Amino acid sequence: MAEKAANNGQSIQLSVSPDLEYKYRDLFNLHIGAEDVIIEFGNIHRGQQGQGSIRDRIVLSPANAIRLHQILGQSLTQMQEKLREYNKQHGDKNSSIN
């Protein structure tokens, strides 16, 4: 699978491995330093209340963290708008996005 991404205005051709591993994470920590932004992802332990563990760590430059913030914010706003429109048309009251 190939995808395109933009990096500082340049288009980059990405290849995505067919055996890419998908991981569900339901907690995260964020550490911001002068030269990098660290996002740690993990899971809450369902059988042990108040316990969780970190499984993955992503380190970004501040510039890339800002880009991630902008793109994620835009994408989530678009998703919310589409879900609201769907709920208006179908009367779905079970959605968590109002």
- What would the pLDDT profile of 66-82 be if each residue is shown by its tens digit? 999 999 999 999 999 99
pLDDT range class, residue 1, cuts 50, 70, 90: very low
Q: What is the pTM of this model?
A: 0.72
Phi, psi (rounded to 5 degrees) for 21 = -85, 130
> Cα–chain-centroid distance for residue 55?
15
pLDDT of residue 85: 92
In sequence order, what are the residues at sequence separation of 6 or more whose Cβ sits closer than 8 angstroms to the Cβ of residue 17? Answer: none
Q: What pLDDT, in 10s, does the model give residues 36-76?
A: 999 999 999 999 889 999 999 999 999 999 999 999 999 99
Question: Contact 61/36 with Cβ under 8 angstroms?
Answer: yes
pLDDT of residue 2: 52
Mean pLDDT of the chain: 88
